[in-house]
Amino acid sequence: MSERAALAIRSPSSARAAGPAKSQLKSSLPAPFLKALAKVVGRRFLLQADEERLVYESDACLLMKAIPDAVVLPNTTEQVADVVKLCRQHQVPFVARGAGTGLSGGALPVKGGIIIGLNRMNRLLEIDTQHHTALVEVGLVNVWLNRALAPYGLFYAPDPSSQSACTIGGNVAENAGGIHCVKYGVTSDHILSLEVVLPDGQIVWLGSHNRRSHGLNLVGLMVGSEGTLGIVTRVRVRLLPLPQYRHVFLAAFDTVAQATDTVSAIIAAGLVPAAMEFMDAFTIRAVNQAFGVGFPENSEAVLLIEVDGTEQEQVREATEQLRPILEQFQPSQIRVAETEADCATLWKARKSAVAAYGRILPAMYVHDCVIPRSRLTEVLTRMEAIRQEYDLIIGNVFHAGDGNLHPNIMFHPNDPDMIARVLKGGEAILQACLEVGGTLSGEHGIGIEKSEFMDRVYSPQDLEKMKSIKQVLDPLHLCNPDKIFPTPRCCGDSGHHGHGQIGTSQTQNPDTEQRTFGKPFEPSTQTDGEEGLWI
Amino acid sequence: MDLATLLPPLSHAQLEAAQLPAHIQQPWAMTAPEEASSASPTQGWRWQPTEASQVASLLHLAQTHLLQLATHPTDAAQLSPPLWLDLSAIKQVLEYDTADLIVKVDAGMTVQDLQTLSASHGHQWPFTAAADALISDILAEERPSLETGLRGWIRERVLGLEIATPDGQLTRCGGRVVKNVTGYDLNKLYVGSHHTLGVLTKATLRLVARPTEERHWLLGFDQLALAMAAAQDLLDSALRTQLTACEVFSQGRTAGIAEFGETLAEHRQKPWQLLIAAGGQAQELQRLEQHIASRYATVTQSGRLQPEWARSLKEHLSIPPKNNLVLEVALPTRPWNLFENLLEPLQFDKVPRRIDEKALPGFSDVQLRPAAGLAWVLWEADRCPEPDAFASLFYGAGSLQTRVQTLGGFVQLLQVPTRLHTGFLALVESLNLPGDPLVRELMLRLKTSYDPHGILYSSRLPLRPDTSLITAATSSSTL
């Protein structure tokens, strides 16, 4: 995250840097606009009170905040469209939001305006067991869908760690991945069609029941566009037969290199496990101390590798193929969980990592970057040097099979010096990833968190081409504005300056130098990783 | 050599004014219309750049002089002057990462060269294509192969792209990692765009490890329903993970290829055939073979294909015959038997004769790919005498489109024989773009943004810029 993005984001009418002073929270939206919004969604579902709007001031990354001028909670696509038309009519920026589990500030109203909360649109409209598809509204929670599908022997594959809370719409916006995407692919691989409210309020269906594109692939463009090209309201997803059997390997290693070399060897051998997760020594010990999980305490790294299938024989064969590769790298221990209960225990332990971190320091910056899988050893070594240089506390638990790193940098929210080091160290880690051919994000998105780093990945021409898409679909720049792309730094830069602007420099806004966070993180309440932050 | 004769209709002065780099003035291999034989598919003016920057310069030149160009010679035949951009001389391997199974290549490389290269590292590009097909075209068309569906879709294997656009720029998207949400996923937009937004010049692709062993079986059936049931059985089984192809096709589809040996004669005589391809460990393939033998003992004596026959058959099935009109039907991938009920409107001899006095014979062949939900319906050009074919096809395809759309699918024309090309363009436009006017408008707006003067022509994706948008687009503020 850039220093700039980490500053408390200020919306023109609702700055929040040194606490929620009521005068600062005052909304400046025109009364006729608010009246019209209330008419569309009903007064009950237009939130204007300070305490109601504060709920929406951040996503799961507490380093970035921006309070909306109002929040609307529509219940139908038509209501969303009417709200968008009103925003267009009154030139008010709008940002769609799901469960708020994002980690890149993608759903923050950095230019003010309204948040369109889609949580009421959470209906599972259809499970088509014949065609293996489901039609859902975007507010449906990921895991609810899978619970509903299980009796039919089907599942929806993308499983971000936040799946107990995150919504399908949020998954579409960020092109979410998850633990099992190494085998099953990311969200875009499982979306057949989308209903979208365009930035001008028109409603359109994109895609078909077949993955073949009919004309340009607008579904592929829309997925992962972070809600900047329109608001997705309904989604037809592709379903897969639920694997009936699985084994989970736990392989512990004395060195990080042994573990990462194992990952490379598995990839090179052409094996495609259902999941391949890495935990470093810090995480192993944190999880053991917090929950008594019993991961090999003296190991420097643990790999959790799942193989699955619809027949037992299939899983047994995959297990036989995997074991000799693992043994080649001389793990200090290999355990194989063969029962469903044992497998679930191992995965719960993995998911409890974040909660375990919460016992060490109350807040955490969850990074997300991707590197070529063969460079894991090199980058983790570099990361250790960065950790020492900036005196950081970093826990690594990540999707090794995809090369998708999640360095979790812990900090105390009331320690500005520590936060500064976290930001600088985080940036150094990002740079290390880029230098080996990596990229800024694998599943969390760019949002405002990394928008200032986009020019390290793409040339100005590359970025202009992306921006031209935004220009085509949202010429007024009202639809989740100022996300993804770097914002102009000086008056000479081109840029659209409308209803407000992203947080400016510290010299211009001295109050933003003091990062004061609301309620401190309370680790004692974090007993289960599924209830905390997710990675 | 006089440059003006190489690059008609541009004059020296125009070329100089375009400030093209010096290398562009090299005498490229080129065939002038009058020099080409009438049978040659390469009639027209061919620009054959040798590096990506030249492609960008040429596109800019074309835009400056409002010259339309195509990336395929048959498309160029529709243009005046017939101008096509031949990328086949841009074919360097730029990077090969054996550990990550990633290769970055110039898009003019052939699929065969890519397969040869990757095989030397124990890898493969998992989609069969014509040996001389260019990577650029495979990606631009997202051309379905036998493996589509079972081994994913081509777009999932594209990690990064470079594209030359009519404004003379080369821009990149994506990268070289397997998971990437850094900015808009323009890979998805460009793959399948038929070079109508820009010309793909470089690609970073994700390969797979070559299976330890590959096996192929060919089974014959008396009825389409039986062949489809066999395919469904395999696709629903746990053995699906080993399958790399599961293709049902009518007998005539392989009529032109050599005999596969005595043991397969029985199968090839059947009106419907099923090609099964699989890769994996020997024990896994053995189980698959046992499964096939146990279910289809009555139709299989020894259906296993020799590797060289299998390779030949797969390549043959990947390419529709050039003299065929090909309609592609895209449907939900399940249930597999949906196709059977849809073919009737295409039996033109059964079409009510309200349009034509003469009816046409039915389609020549059908090829079905249930794992991808795709079917090809083929007519030999000789069976489509104009204008009867034209009107009947409109009727049949329109009727089919209506039925398919109710099931959530669509129909498009995949190939039109050159002889029929002009007459069918209107049909292409009505079928190959989505019916929803708003979706079309979105596509046209994107086309206009990338190619405001419409210099990039594709008959398969006939997007024409909306000139009414050009002024607005160029005058509005940038981000």
SS3 per residue for A314-338: HHHHHHHHHHHHHHHCCCCEEEEEC
pLDDT of residue B390: 61
**Pairing relationship of beta strands A231-238 and A191-197 according to DSSP bridges:** antiparallel
Q: Say if A280 is an interface residue toward chain B (CB within 8 Å).
A: no
Q: Which of A34-43, A410-419, B3-12, B77-86 has the lowest mean pLDDT?
A: B3-12
The chain A residue lying nearest B124, using CA atoms, is A270
Pick from A211, A267, A307, A369 the residue to mutate for testing the B interface (most B CBs within 10 Å). A211
C-beta atoms of A225 and B330 within 8 A: no
What is the average per-residue pLDDT within A401-409? 96
pLDDT tens by residue, A127-171: 999 889 999 999 999 999 999 999 999 999 999 989 999 999 999
User: What does the pLDDT look like over B301-354, one tens digit per residue?
Assistant: 557 788 888 888 899 899 888 888 888 999 888 766 667 667 655 554 444 433
Residues 6+ apart with CB under 8 A from B39: none
Percent of chain A residues topping a pLDDT of 90:
77
Region B198-215 average pLDDT: 95
DSSP label of B224: H
Name the pLDDT band for A221 (thresholds 50, 70, 90): very high
Q: Do B177 and A459 touch (CB under 8 A)?
A: no
Q: CA-CA distances (angstroms) from residue B430 to A379, B320, B332, B434? A: 52, 22, 21, 8
Residue percentage of chain B with pLDDT more than 70: 75
Report the percentage of chain A scoring pLDDT > 70. 86
Q: What local confidence, expressed as pLDDT, does residue B437 receive? A: 95
Inform me whether the C-beta atom of residue B97 falls under 8 Å from chain A C-beta atoms.
yes
Q: Say if B283 is an interface residue toward chain A (CB within 8 Å).
A: yes
Q: Is B21 on the interface with A (CB under 8 A)?
A: no
pLDDT at B56 over 50: yes
Chains A, B: CB contacts under 8 A, how many? 259
State mean pLDDT over B353-357: 38
What's the mean per-residue pLDDT of chain B?
81
Output the average pLDDT for chain A: 87
User: What confidence tens digit (pLDDT) does each residue in B245-259 have?
Assistant: 999 999 888 876 766
| Mean pLDDT value across residues A416-445 | 96
The Cα–Cα gap between B179 and A441 comes to: 8
Distances (CA, A) of A493 to A487, A490, B252, B367, B475: 9, 6, 63, 55, 17
What average pLDDT does range A38-50 have in this prediction?
97
Decide if A220 contacts B155 (C-beta within 8 A).
yes
Alpha-carbon gap: A476 to the closest alpha carbon of chain B (Å): 9
Q: Is the dihedral of CA B261, B266, B272, B275 positive or negative?
A: negative
Taking residues A438-460, what's their average pLDDT? 96
CB-based contact B152 A484, cutoff 8 Å: no
Nearest CA in chain B to A266: B99
Hey, is the C-beta of B205 within 8 angstroms of any chain A C-beta? no
> Higher pLDDT residue, A299 or B464?
A299
CB contact under 8 A, A461 and B192: no
Highest mean pLDDT: which range of A26-35, A105-114, A284-293: A105-114
How confident is the model over A54-74, as a mean pLDDT?
Answer: 93
Tokens found for residue A196:
């979208």
Tell me whether A462 touches chain B (CB under 8 Å): yes
Question: Which of A212, A309, A372 lies at the smallest CB-CB distance from B144?
Answer: A212
pLDDT of residue A260: 95
Q: Calculate how close chain B gets to A273, using CA atoms only, in Å.
A: 12
A204 and B439 in contact by Cβ < 8 A?
Answer: yes
What is the CB-side half-sphere exposure of residue A365 using CA atoms within 13 A?
Answer: 27
Q: List chain A residues with CB under 8 Å of B181.
A: 174-175, 224, 441-446
Residue B6 pLDDT class (50, 70, 90 cuts)? very low
The pLDDT of A297-321, averaged and rounded, is: 92
C-alpha B275/C-alpha A472 separation (Å) is 45
Tell me, rounded to whole angstroms, the distance of Cα A40 from its chain centroid: 30
Residue A43's Cβ-count burial label (10 Å; 0-12, 13-18, 19+) is exposed
**What is residue A272's three-state secondary structure?**
coil
The answer to whether residue A526 scores a pLDDT higher than 70 is no
Q: Is the pLDDT of residue A377 over 70?
A: yes
CA distance B428 to chain A (A): 11
The alpha carbons of chain A give a radius of gyration, in whole angstroms, of 23
Residues of B (406-435) whose Cβ lies below 8 Å from A: 407-410, 412, 432-434
Chain A 485-504, CB below 8 Å of chain B: which residues? 485, 494-496
